[in-house]
Amino acid sequence: MYQTRRYLADISIDKYLEEYVDIPQFLELCKACPNYNRKWSCPPYDFKPEDYWNKYGKMHVIGTKIIFDEATINQKYATEEIINIVKTVIKKEQSLLFDELLALEEKYPGSISLAAGSCSLCENCARPDSNACNHADKLRYSIESLGGNVDKTVKKLLGLELQWMREGNLPEYFLLVSALLTPSI
Ligand code: SF4
């Protein structure tokens, strides 16, 4: 039904902050998302995102392209079916990617990963009940939640385009965009 392909790019945090990060702009977009203030992985934060970025020296962008085969792309689906396929495929690949990123953190001391999307480790996040995160050791922010422009990152650093669903059809591919931040040397 699909295969995955990896795309990688490296950039200094200084350059990424200068050219790809706009915290006020993306904070406004986050405010329109149902996860805003309802997941600990999402804004608002009790820290400044620029301080978070500045703890690191380099960003290793990791794009995971989920490429559907031709028969799957050409098939027409009911909206429900598409939602189910997307949920299943993306959830599975996000979970594999998450484990891979944690393994990279172990391999590169002092590094931290940025997840592809908001945290979905718990069925219901603890934040709406004002409880602490259930898995604080595994909580990872995403590029966009820290003000990074994922669309520009994908285009300029990975040489790809984000694709969206058309009515009744899956796109050719989805992209999961994650990263590993490593310390300044
Ligand atoms: S680990 Fe659970 S409680 Fe913590 S941010 Fe993720 S979903 Fe929320």
Q: CB count, 10 Å around CB of 179? A: 30
Question: Which pLDDT score is estimated for 140?
Answer: 98
Question: Which pLDDT score is estimated for 33?
Answer: 96
Distance in angstroms (rounded) separating the CA atoms of residues 176 and 15 = 22
Structural domain boundaries in the chain: 2-182
Reported residue count of the chain is 185
Pocket test for ligand 1, best of 35, 121, 129 (most atoms within 8 A of CB): 121
Cβ atoms of 12 and 58 within 8 Å: the answer is yes
pLDDT in tens, the chain (185 residues): 899 999 999 999 999 999 999 999 999 999 999 999 999 999 999 999 999 999 999 999 999 999 999 999 999 999 899 889 989 999 999 999 999 999 999 999 999 999 999 999 999 999 999 999 999 999 999 999 999 999 999 999 999 998 887 788 899 999 999 999 999 76
Question: Which pLDDT score is estimated for 149?
Answer: 98
From the CA of 123, how far away is ligand 1's center (Å)? Answer: 8
Question: Which pLDDT score is estimated for 79?
Answer: 87
Question: Which pLDDT score is estimated for 185?
Answer: 61
- Tens of pLDDT, residues 110-126: 999 999 999 999 999 99
Instruction: Read off φ and ψ for residue 18, nearest 5 degrees.
Output: -70, -40
* Closest approach atom of ligand 1 to CA 131: 3
Distance in angstroms (rounded) separating the CA atoms of residues 90 and 126 = 23
Question: Which pLDDT score is estimated for 50?
Answer: 97
Question: Which pLDDT score is estimated for 60?
Answer: 98
Pocket test for ligand 1, best of 95, 133, 140 (most atoms within 8 A of CB): 133
* Closest approach atom of ligand 1 to CA 136: 4
Averaged pLDDT score across all residues of the chain: 95
Q: Whose CA is nearest to atom 2 of ligand 1?
A: 122
160 Cβ contact partners less than 8 Å away, ≥ 6 residues apart = 7, 63, 65, 154, 175
Pocket test for ligand 1, best of 119, 130, 141, 145 (most atoms within 8 A of CB): 119
Q: Whose CA is nearest to atom 4 of ligand 1?
A: 133
